[in-house]
């Protein structure tokens, strides 16, 4: 008998942050400071005893909804061939079709989709990147977690120095404050501190088109790797126009939750840096679909967050991406990413290369099981 999915265990995990963080959405009054990350974990076991693990996540809202949605449709995966990942994915989409094919619906499926890719690579005895077909064993890495807006310039400098000493190669800071002059003062101070170190800025969608043009023009002087999300995430034409106007690349895409939403950028003529997020776009399966199209269009890639997943996907992209370093999820896993010489290195362990920690179990607030471990 062919191997099949015997059981699934879903876990909702609430991971508190050591300190609340604020980006431009907080300073403009649209959101509250971020105090925790809520994750949805899927653990899969097959009739042959092979296991896989994947996760999705949410910030500020949506975690319970992701968990509830996957609980409703998870039974559909039981008994299916775990190697037929695209088939399993589509069956889950149709099982929950009444709530659509983006947003919470696909973010919920993402946890199981990632787990099936992890399982397939583990069964092959290969890191996921090697199973997909890697172009490289390491990628350039930058840190974001030290550059939030609640931090003073001096705090940002201290954290940036610590990141560089730890082997990280680039630093990203947040902008998009109500007073644009404050943004420029902070950028100038951090650029002076970093010298020639690669630097990025992220406005988290808080500028309108007029302000974005003015700010991008001012920011040209600071030799940035990119200006991220200067406009609303769904303003594909606006991002495309900026990407043709300025020398500094424009980056966007992290908030988009389906392949069609990302394709709107390409259709608008966007020529910047795409930042798909596998848990948000719906999993590794749709991430790879879009990555193929982005590569064909000649776009650079810098996947958002979730470095435990994205290092593998970045290693399998034809042109070298940047990978985003966030240490926030470290307590949930036994292993750590290797970072040195300004680069993040591909794990040599099978699959994603991570096992869940006791701390992950301790932060679990709900679990649900489907199928039988013995098939």
210 belongs to an annotated ligand binding site: no
Number of neighbouring beta carbons within 10 Å of residue 273: 23
Q: Is 157 annotated as a binding residue?
A: no
304 is catalytic: yes
Task: Confirm or deny that 140 is annotated as ligand binding.
Answer: no
Q: What is the DSSP string of 183-211?
A: HHHHHHHHHHHHTTS-EEEE-TT---HHH
Structure tokens at 266: 């390409």
Closest residue by Cα to residue 39 from 26, 54, 56, 51: 56
Q: Could you tell me which residues are beta bridge partners of residue 158? A: none
23 is in an annotated binding site: yes
User: Angle 68-335-364 (CA atoms, 0-180°, nearest 5)?
Assistant: 25
Element of type H or E holding 301: strand 300-301
Contacts of 124 (CB under 8 A, 6+ apart): 131, 350
Using CA of residue 359, residue 315, residue 169, residue 249, what is the dihedral sign? Answer: negative
202 has binding-site annotation: yes
Active site residue 174: yes
Q: Which H or E element spans position 331? A: none
Encoded tokens for 210: 């007029």
Instruction: Write out the H or E segment, with its range, that includes residue 122.
Output: helix 104-124
- Residue 324 annotated as binding? yes
Q: Pull the structure tokens for residue 88.
A: 């399993």
| Residue 25 assigned as binding residue | yes
Residue 208 phi, psi (nearest 5): -85, 180
Among 60, 52, 10, 12, smallest CA distance to 35 is for: 60
Longest dimension (CA), the chain: 67
According to DSSP, the residues that pair with 251 across neighbouring strands are 228, 273
Q: Is the dihedral of CA 296, 298, 302, 307 positive or negative?
A: positive
Q: Which helix (H) or strand (E) holds 116?
A: helix 104-124
Q: Tell whether residue 228 is among the known ligand binding residues.
A: yes
Beta-bridge mates of residue 185: none
Q: Which of 130, 174, 262, 312 is catalytic?
A: 174
Catalytic-labelled residue, pool 120, 159, 239, 304: 304
Whether residue 235 is annotated as binding a ligand: the answer is no
* Ramachandran region, residue 319 (left: φ > 0; alpha: ψ -120 to 50; beta: rest): beta
Annotated binding residues for Mg(2+), written as ranges, equal: 202, 228, 254
Catalytic machinery residues: 174, 304
Annotated binding residues, written as ranges, equal: 23-25, 59-60, 172, 202, 204, 228, 254, 324
Annotated binding residues for substrate, written as ranges, equal: 23-25, 59-60, 172, 204, 324
């Amino acid at each position: 008998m062919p191997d099949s999915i015997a059981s699934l265990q879903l876990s909702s995990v609430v991971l508190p942050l050591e300190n609340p963080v604020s980006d431009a959405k907080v300073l403009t009054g649209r959101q509250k400071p971020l105090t925790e990350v809520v994750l949805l974990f899927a653990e899969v076991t097959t009739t042959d005893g092979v296991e896989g693990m994947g996760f999705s996540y949410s910030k500020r809202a949506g975690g319970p909804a992701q968990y509830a949605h996957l609980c409703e449709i998870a039974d559909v995966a039981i008994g299916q061939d775990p190697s037929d990942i695209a088939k399993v994915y589509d069956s889950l989409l149709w099982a929950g079709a009444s709530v659509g094919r983006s947003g919470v619906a696909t973010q919920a499926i993402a946890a199981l989709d990632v787990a099936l890719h992890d399982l397939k690579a583990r069964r092959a005895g290969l890191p996921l990147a090697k199973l997909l077909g890697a172009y490289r064993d390491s990628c350039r890495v930058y840190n974001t977690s030290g550059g939030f807006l609640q931090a003073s310039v001096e705090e940002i400098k201290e954290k940036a120095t610590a990141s560089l000493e730890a082997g990280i190669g680039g630093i990203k800071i947040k902008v998009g404050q109500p007073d644009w002059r404050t943004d420029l003062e902070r950028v100038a101070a951090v650029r002076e501190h970093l010298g020639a170190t690669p630097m990025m800025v992220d406005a988290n969608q808080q500028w309108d088109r007029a302000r974005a043009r003015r700010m991008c023009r001012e920011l040209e002087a600071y030799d940035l790797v990119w200006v991220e999300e200067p406009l609303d995430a769904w303003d594909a034409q606006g991002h495309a126009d900026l990407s043709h106007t300025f020398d500094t690349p424009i980056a966007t895409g992290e908030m988009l939750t389906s392949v069609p939403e990302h394709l709107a950028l390409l259709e608008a003529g966007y020529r910047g840096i795409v930042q798909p997020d596998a848990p948000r776009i719906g999993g590794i399966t749709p991430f790879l679909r879009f990555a193929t199209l982005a590569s064909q269009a000649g776009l650079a890639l810098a996947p958002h967050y979730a470095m435990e997943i994205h290092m593998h996907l970045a290693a399998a992209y034809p042109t070298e991406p940047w990978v985003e370093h966030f240490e926030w999820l470290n307590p949930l896993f036994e292993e750590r990413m290797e970072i040195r010489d300004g680069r993040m290195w591909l794990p040599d362990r099978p699959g994603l290369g991570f096992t869940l920690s006791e701390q992950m179990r301790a932060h679990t607030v709900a679990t649900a099981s489907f199928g039988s471990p013995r098939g």
